[in-house]
Structure 1
């Protein structure tokens, strides 16, 4: 049975990933709040990844870093602190975790790392400057580490569009706005956390053993199609 470290598995996409994996894998979740579920395959550490010392873990085969932010403001209202905060959550936090657990990951079975980007890195959208900068950093990290860690460790990222999570609740704050967002996507839908979790589960599995350094768009067609 493989062991996966999930950073941020108490809510949103992270929780959906956790719920998938505990059915067949050991999961070590690290987040400020505990998931509102228990399972024989789940271990939780309460920890602020950005501020606290990471827990000592002796064995792991995968790392999935799910922490992220949605900080949408006009460029004129974005402070340098906004850019720094988004970069810290999305990039520096991931670097801290990977550096801390890389020695044990190298000893794992077909080890892999999975990060999260955003369609905002490929599709220019107003008010997305800070998050686009941060997620572009995530994609650069995936490409660079993919080359550096090959052939021992694979690393990929998923770039979702708007997903029906608590983090996106301000975007999906009423039916009219939700319908409008659906209509802008060629597949006329909002991405669900379970869909992203299924992709995550595939990418850390042996079924994806030839995939590394890749950014997988889950965009409901908004980046891929012009309809």
Structure 2
């Protein structure tokens, strides 16, 4: 049986960059996303397997496990995310539930689904938070709450799973991606947001993907329980 890395949210900016970086380094990957029209061409480009699954649907993990039964899992990267911006007075319980389901609950289900395989293979898990979890931004109640929960999950599972499975978290700042396009469609706004970062640019998918690749690999075998900012210096220097 071969070992593979699972990438949830594989058609996003970070997920697709991570898949490409891993395959370029001769690692095998299995891609998971909900849109087959985007997923299939990526899998063909990288010559890898894939599952069409929506993490918002109940029992989505059963579909992924059925598709991956003929290989072992070495690592899991949960690259699914959202940008949910509203002032508190407009935040509904449904908003909170949907965001928590996408970012947190389904991440937990993904980990539970492959916990035993990861333990057997001394595997690694990479989760994704946001700079907004630790640095206050107006209108970020929904997403900051969900991503702060991811950071708590990271350190808890790192303790629970040691020494067999490593668990780390990447906290990006605003990254150029499909979900951020509505914020970046105005060149003036995009330039202002870029200048809010000490490194004076927005993130790209490959920025976070490069760190995710390292954290998934055995090169980071003495790294666990860490929440690492890939944010152009925004969390520490702004």
In structure 2, the residue corresponding to 1:191 is in which secondary structure? Answer: coil
Contact 1:12 1:167 in 2 (8 A): no
The structure whose residues are more often helix, as a share, is 2
Shift of 1:196: 1.1
Structure 1 match to 2:87: 74
* Structure 2 gaps, min length 5: none
In structure 2, the residue corresponding to 1:120 is in which secondary structure? Answer: helix
Structure 1 match to 2:160: 148
Structure 1 pair 225–40 and aligned structure 2 pair: CA distance change class (3 A): closer
Structure 1 match to 2:52: 46
Distance 1:151 1:190 in 2: 36
Structure 2 match to 1:101: 114
Shift of 1:49: 2.3
Shift of 1:65: 0.5
Structure 1 match to 2:194: 182
Match of 2:73 among 47, 60, 69: 60
Distance 1:209 1:39 in 2: 30
Poorly superposed stretches of 4+, deviation over 6 Å: none
Distance 1:96 1:18 in 2: 21
Structure 2 match to 1:18: 19
Structure 2 match to 1:129: 141
* Structure 1 gaps, min length 5: none
Q: State which drifts further: 20-29 or 162-171.
A: 20-29
Contact 2:20 2:46 in 1 (8 A): no
Distance 2:46 2:180 in 1: 31
Shift of 1:107: 1.7
Shift of 1:21: 1.2
Shift of 1:122: 1.0
Write out per-residue CA displacement over residues 3-49 of structure 1, whole angstroms, 9 at most, x where no aligned residue: 10111101221111111112211111111123232156410111112
Number of matched pairs: 225
User: What TM-score, normalized by structure 2, do the two folds share?
Assistant: 0.91
RMSD: 1.3
User: What TM-score, normalized by structure 1, do the two folds share?
Assistant: 0.95
